[in-house]
Amino acid sequence: MSANPTYAVYTLGCKLNYAESSAISRRLSEQGYNKVSFKEKADIYIINTCSVTNEADKECRMVVRNALNTSPGAFIAVIGCYAQLKPEEIAKIEGVDIVLGASEKFNIANYLQKLDKNSFAEIHSCEIDQPLEFHAAHSSGERTRSFLKVQDGCDYVCSYCTIPLARGRSRSNNIEKVIENIYEIANKGVREIVLTGVNLGDFGINEPGSDKHHETFFQLVQGIEKLDVPVRFRISSIEPNLLTDDIIRWVSTSQKFVPHFHIPLQSGSDTILKKMRRRYLRDVYSERVQLIKSLMLHCCIGADVIAGFHGETEEDFMETYTFLNELDISYLHAFTYSERSNTLAAESKEAVPLEIRRKRTRMLRILSEKKLRNFYLQNMGQERDVLFEGHVNDGWQYGHTDNYVRVRISSDEILKNSMYKLRLIAINEEGTVDGEVVSSSVDSPTFNFQLSTSN
C-alpha cells in the first residue's frame, strides 16, 4: 500500500447523505488520501448508507461484494444512517471491517490509521438519544449546484419514520456559519445552492440538547437575501406546518430565492395523517398551496405522498387522490408504504396488501405525470432564468428554470454553469420543454467573494 492510500465512496439515499459524503471526502483528500471512482481499485471503500430504503441490507451487501471483487484486500468501512440503526446486521456482512454511526462517520480518518483486514467488524455507533454535534457539509460533485446542509436530525415522531433513530435530535448550524459556507461554495463557481436538512423548517436549534430556538429558518432566509453572491437559492423539502406565511411572502419578492417549494403531504386524508402522527391536517396544506399560488402564480410546488399506509381504506386513498388532483401542485413523489422495524406503525394490525399499495402508488405516479405536464403548459410563453447543468444529449443542452421546469436548447457552445433567459415554447417528445434564447442574463462572475464585503 502506498503512503497515500486510495479511497472510493459510494452513497445511498438522500441529498443530505451526498452532502455528507462530499464533506468526508474533502477531509480525507486534505489529509493526503487519494480519491478514485468506486469502479476502480482502491485501498479503502466507504459506503454511506441510508435507512429509508427497504433494501438497505441487500444493497449494502451488494456494494461490499462489488468493492471486494475489484480489490479483494481492501478495507471496507460502512457508515451513515443504516450503520447507526442496524450496526450488528452490517457487521455480519462478510468483508466489512468497520461500522461507523451518526457521529463517528465524521471522524473516519481516525479509524483509518491501520488498514489491516479485521477478522470481525468493529462497531462505533453513538447513543442516538443523546445530544449530537452538528457537522456542516455540502456536496461538491458538480460545479453548477450544491446541496448545503444547514440542519440535521428531527424531533418529530411520525409513526412510520426511522430517521430520528438514525440521525438523532434536531440540531443546526448558526446563520453566521451558514453564510461562511455559502461564500466558500460561491467561490468555487457554484451558481445554485439548495438549503438542505432533515426537518429544515426546524432550523435554529444550535445548542446540543437545547429546546430553545435561537434563530429561525425565516431569519436565515432574510440573512441570505443580503448576500452579494451570484447564486440562486432553492429551499429543499419543508414541512407544511413550518412553512410560515412570512417565508412564503418573503420568497415571493426575493431576488435570491427561486419560486419552488417541496412540501411533504404524505396523505390527503385527515384520518391517515393522524395515524401517521403528522403535525398538520389537510386544510393546512391546501392553505399553504393557495397562499403560494396567490402570490406566485408560476411557483413550482412538489409533494411527497405515501400510498398504502396501515389502515388506509379505499375511501381514504380516494380522498388523497381527489385532494391532490384538485390541488394546484406541480408534481408528486409517490412512495409505497413499507414497514420499518422499531416504528409505531409497524406494530399496527391494519396492513394493506402489497399489491393494493403498489396499485395506489402507480395511480399517484400517473397523476404526477399529468400534473407536471399541466404545470409545464401553464409556463408556455414565460421568460425564465435557466441555469445550464452540463448534461448534453444529441446536441441538446439541459438546465432548469428558477421554477424548476426542465428545459433544453440546441447549441454548439458549452453552456454548463451559465445562466440564460429563455422563452419556453413547447413541450417536446421527451417530456422536457424547448426554449429559445431571450438573453444571456447573468455574466460570468469572478470568484472572490468575501464575508466582510456583504455583512
- Least distance in angstroms from the C-beta of 200 to ligand SF4: 10
Take residue 16 and report the three cell numbers written for it.
Answer: 443530505
Q: Which is nearer to ligand SF4, 19 or 158 (CB)?
A: 158
Q: Which is nearer to ligand SF4, 85 or 190 (CB)?
A: 85
- Least distance in angstroms from the C-beta of 366 to ligand SF4: 25
What residues from 162 to 201 belong to the interface with ligand SF4 (CB under 6 A)? 163-164, 198-199
DSSP state of 307: E
- CA–CA gap between residue 207 and residue 425 (Å, rounded): 50
Q: Which is nearer to ligand SF4, 86 or 384 (CB)?
A: 86
- CA–CA gap between residue 198 and residue 264 (Å, rounded): 12
- Least distance in angstroms from the C-beta of 190 to ligand SF4: 26
- Least distance in angstroms from the C-beta of 198 to ligand SF4: 5
Take residue 101 and report the three cell numbers written for it.
Answer: 454511526
Task: Name the segment binding ligand SF4 (CB under 6 A); options: 160-168, 182-190, 404-412, 441-449.
Answer: 160-168
156 binds ligand SF4 (CB under 6 A): yes
Take residue 54 and report the three cell numbers written for it.
Answer: 427497504
204 binds ligand SF4 (CB under 6 A): no
- Least distance in angstroms from the C-beta of 60 to ligand SF4: 21
- Least distance in angstroms from the C-beta of 133 to ligand SF4: 19
Rounded to the nearest 5 percent, the helix, strand and coil shares of the chain are 35, 25, 45
Strands (E), 15-55: 34-35, 44-49
52 binds ligand SF4 (CB under 6 A): no
Q: Which is nearer to ligand SF4, 124 or 167 (CB)?
A: 167
DSSP string for residues in 396-436: EEEEEETT--EEEEE-SS--TT-EEEEEEEEE-TTSSEEEE
Q: Which is nearer to ligand SF4, 156 or 396 (CB)?
A: 156
Q: 353 exposed, middle or buried (CB, 10 Å; 0-12, 13-18, 19+)?
A: exposed
DSSP string for residues in 127-186: -TTS------EE--SSSSEEEEE-EE------TT--HHHHH-S-EE--HHHHHHHHHHHH
158 binds ligand SF4 (CB under 6 A): yes
**Helix 245-253 to helix 217-225 angle, to the nearest 10 degrees?**
10
Q: Which is nearer to ligand SF4, 269 or 418 (CB)?
A: 269
Site mask, ligand SF4, residues 218-247, x = CB under 6 A? Answer: ---------------------x--------
Contact positions vs ligand SF4 (CB under 6 A)? 154, 156, 158, 161, 163-164, 198-199, 239
